[in-house]
Amino acid sequence: MSKKKPLILVTNDDGITAPGIRALIEVMNSIGDVYVVAPDAPQSGMGHAITLNDTLYCDSITVAKKEPQIEYSCSGTPVDCVKIAVNEILKRKPDLCVSGINHGSNSSINVIYSGTMSAAVEAGTQGIPSIGFSLLDYSIDADFEASKKFVKKIVKECLKNKLPKGVVLNVNIPKLSAKEIKGIKVCRQADAHWEEKFDKRTNPVGRDYYWLSGEFVNEDKGQDTDEWALANGYVSVVPVQFDLTAHHAIKEINTWDI
């Protein structure tokens, strides 16, 4: 049993043909038996959305003919992909779920908006060791060479050491060459947020509409945060939990007159 290759589920939120997931599949093929179940179109910013009031398609496809992985293209969100993979596509629970490599950062508060990380979290809720990977480069032509090296290292250690119960990993990689990257830092999520700036326009029939845009504001000066690590040339690894209880606040709210 111990010599069996691990069964690895790969997904993402940029869509099944994105260069980032292709890089991730390449690395995973060197480690285990790979199933890909990923969105048929970009799903960035979908957070933990699921499809409740619509149908889901999930079709077997071949993206790369000579590669060993088995691939399915799904009409749903990243979280839908994980649910349908685990319950309909895979013969057994996978040994690992990896999501990404995302084109763009999912550090700090971005973890809650990220379809990439929500897919990893969903797998975590189902008891599957799980990691989301993101490269700090939004470009479709992003260079994933350095990322591949760090993805392999972290995945191998994860398979060897296991993850604590209820914890998945949020890995962000700076836009640097492998030589320039100083190493890997285990971090906490920086206390940052988005300040929105809506772009208000008028459509051709005179109705106002908006484009959402915003500015990322990080006032957290800690040197133990993911933002600090990334700004200083390190890969950041944040252990993420889906028990959202603010345990420290229970005592305080128990003093309320309710």
> Phi and psi dihedrals of 156, rounded to 5?
-65, -45
Task: State the burial class of residue 1 (Cβ atoms within 10 Å of its Cβ: 0-12, 13-18, 19+).
Answer: exposed
Nearer to its own copies, 49 or 67 (CB): 49
Q: Min. distance of Cβ 20 from its own copies in angstroms?
A: 17
Q: Rounded to 10 degrees, what is the CA torsion of 198, 192, 250, 163?
A: 120
- Annotation-wise, does 224 bind a ligand? no
57 with 41: CB under 8 angstroms?
Answer: no
Residue span binding its own copies (CB under 8 A) among the ranges 80-88, 95-103, 135-143, 172-180: 80-88
- The footprint of its own copies on residues 83-122 (CB under 8 A) is 83-84, 86-88, 109, 111-113, 118, 121
Determine if 193 is a binding residue for its own copies (CB under 8 A): yes
Q: Which residues of 136-164 are buried (b: 16+ CB within 10 A; e: fewer)?
A: bbeeeebebebbbebbeebbeebbeeebe
Determine if 169 is a binding residue for its own copies (CB under 8 A): yes
Nearer to its own copies, 163 or 231 (CB): 163
Which member of 17, 47, 149, 216 binds its own copies (CB under 8 A)? Answer: 47
89 with 72: CB under 8 angstroms?
Answer: yes
- Annotation-wise, does 208 bind a ligand? no
- Annotation-wise, does 53 bind a ligand? no
Binding mask 213-252 for its own copies (x = CB under 8 A): -x----------------------xxxxxxxxxxxxxx-x
Determine if 62 is a binding residue for its own copies (CB under 8 A): no
